[in-house]
Structure 1
Amino acid sequence: MRASDTVYRALREEILDGTIPPGTTLTEVEQSTRLGYSRTPVREALGRLTADGLVAAASARALVVTDVADDDITALYELREALEVTAAQLAAARRDVREFADLHEQFTHAAELVDGGEHELQRYYDLVTELDAAIDIAVGNSYLEQALRSVRLHSARVRRSARRNPERLRQAASEHLLICQAIRDGDAALAGHATHVHLRLSRANALAAPPNAVQTAS
């Protein structure tokens, strides 16, 4: 892996999980010293983070970690709905039945992961990531996949910056279960509707969460 990729992933993860909070100033020199890499890969990584919208120029020499306001959350979920409802419908028409049958089986146990510790909760989020990847593969549209990749990055940030809500997490697990079932069964209408409901409820929870809290459902 290239040094710039390593730096990018490290900084991105720290921004997403709140280790580097919104408003933090990032400079090439400081991050180069802290992470132990030369300024060139750090500069490249910061450029990619800027393109992602996770940081923005504060001056000619420094960048600042961007914030996520309520208006941003609303706009993000509007875009997610447009993209993910379409993706779910297409996946239902083009899916590998066995893959979504397996995911459906795994999501029947998702509530147990949600009620477990941090390790089990991370397994739940990994399972959601697997579902996203399976939908992307089923859809087979590189343009849609690229758009979804960007929106999911910011969704992860919203998820990690919002209050953990066990009840909402259990509800989201049930919603993912229904999405898997609809895609498995080739029911495009249900897949789209289930995704629509899931995103509407997730948005409401994200907007209701107090600032600087941790983890909600996506």
Structure 2
Amino acid sequence: MRQSERAYATLLEEIQSGALPAGAVLGEVEQSARLGVSRTPLRTALGRLVADGLVVQQSPRVTVVADIDAADIRALFELRRALEESAARIAAVRGDAAAFAALEREFADAGRALHGDPGRDAYYGVIARFDAAVDAAVGNDYMTQALRTVRTHLVRVRRLARDKPDRLAASVGEHRLIARALADRDADLAAHATHVHLHNALDSILDSLPEGTP
């Protein structure tokens, strides 16, 4: 792995996990030393993060982790709805019905084992495979790139919200319905189920933001 890719992957994970919180200063000298890379690949990594919208450049040599607030989250979900509902409609027509039926079963299995971090991680793993299957079915590089950007921010947003076991269990059921609709090639139901899932997800995230989040 090239130095710039390694630096990007490390910084991305730290921002998404909250290890680098909003407002954290990413000075070139300090980050180069900390990550063990020279300044040129670090600049490349920071440039990618700026393009992702995860960091903001304050001067030629200093960037900071971007803030995120309720308005940002609402804006993210506006785009997410437009993209994911459209993707669901297309995937229902173009996708592999058997693959989505198998994913529905995976969601059911994950829903029975949600307890603890391993169970949640396994569930998010099924979501990642589901997203990849939808992307493959849609077969539109422009849409896939836009969705990748949304998902990059979504990881960070999820970390801001408190864990809600009841919401997680409901999310499993919502994903099962979407997967079943895709397996049945029911485009209207797939889009509607996606809309309901995103509506519920946004309400839950906004409700569970740490107190004091603007």
TM-score band, normalised by shorter chain: over 0.9
C-alpha RMSD of matched pairs (Å): 1.1
C-alpha displacement at 1:78, in angstroms? 0.7
* Unaligned 5+ runs, structure 1: 213-218
Structure 2 counterpart of 1:157? 156
Superposition pairs for residues 50-61 of structure 1, below 5 Å? 50-61=50-61
Match of 1:104, as an amino acid?
E
Match of 1:175, as an amino acid?
E
SS at match of 1:10: helix
Structure 1 counterpart of 2:86? 86
Q: Provide the rounded CA distance (Å) in 2 between the counterparts of 1:112 and 1:22.
A: 35
C-alpha displacement at 1:187, in angstroms? 0.4
| Runs of 4+ that moved beyond 6 A | none
Structure 1 counterpart of 2:12? 12
Describe the superposition over 1:116-144 as per-residue Cα deviations: whole angstroms up to 9, x where unpaired: 22122111111101100000000111111
Match of 1:81, as an amino acid?
R
C-alpha displacement at 1:59, in angstroms? 2.5
C-alpha displacement at 1:156, in angstroms? 1.3
SS at match of 2:59: coil
C-alpha displacement at 1:58, in angstroms? 2.1
Say how many residue pairs are matched: 211
Q: Provide the rounded CA distance (Å) in 1 between the counterparts of 2:85 and 2:161.
A: 23
Describe the superposition over 1:137-175 as per-residue Cα deviations: whole angstroms up to 9, x where unpaired: 001111111111111111111111111111101000110
Give the TM-score taking structure 2 as reference length: 0.96
SS at match of 1:56: strand
Structure 2 counterpart of 1:112? 112
Match of 2:121, as an amino acid?
Q
Structure 2 counterpart of 1:215? none
Q: Provide the rounded CA distance (Å) in 2 between the counterparts of 1:7 and 1:32.
A: 9
Structure 1 counterpart of 2:208? 209
Structure 2 counterpart of 1:198? 197
Superposition pairs for residues 34-183 of structure 1, below 5 Å? 34-114=34-114, 116-183=115-182
SS at match of 2:113: helix
SS at match of 1:109: helix
C-alpha displacement at 1:61, in angstroms? 2.0
Match of 2:208, as an amino acid?
A
Describe the superposition over 1:185-218 as per-residue Cα deviations: whole angstroms up to 9, x where unpaired: 1000000000000000000011111328xxxxxx
SS at match of 1:113: coil
Q: Provide the rounded CA distance (Å) in 2 between the counterparts of 1:203 and 1:52.
A: 21
Structure 2 counterpart of 1:2? 2
User: Is the 2:110–2:123 Cα contact (8 Å) retained in structure 1?
Assistant: yes
SS at match of 1:58: strand
* Unaligned 5+ runs, structure 2: none
Q: Provide the rounded CA distance (Å) in 2 between the counterparts of 1:141 and 1:50.
A: 24
Identity of aligned residues (%): 51
C-alpha displacement at 1:10, in angstroms? 0.6
Give the TM-score taking structure 1 as reference length: 0.94
Q: Provide the rounded CA distance (Å) in 1 between the counterparts of 2:194 and 2:209.
A: 25
Structure 2 counterpart of 1:188? 187
SS at match of 2:112: helix
C-alpha displacement at 1:113, in angstroms? 3.1
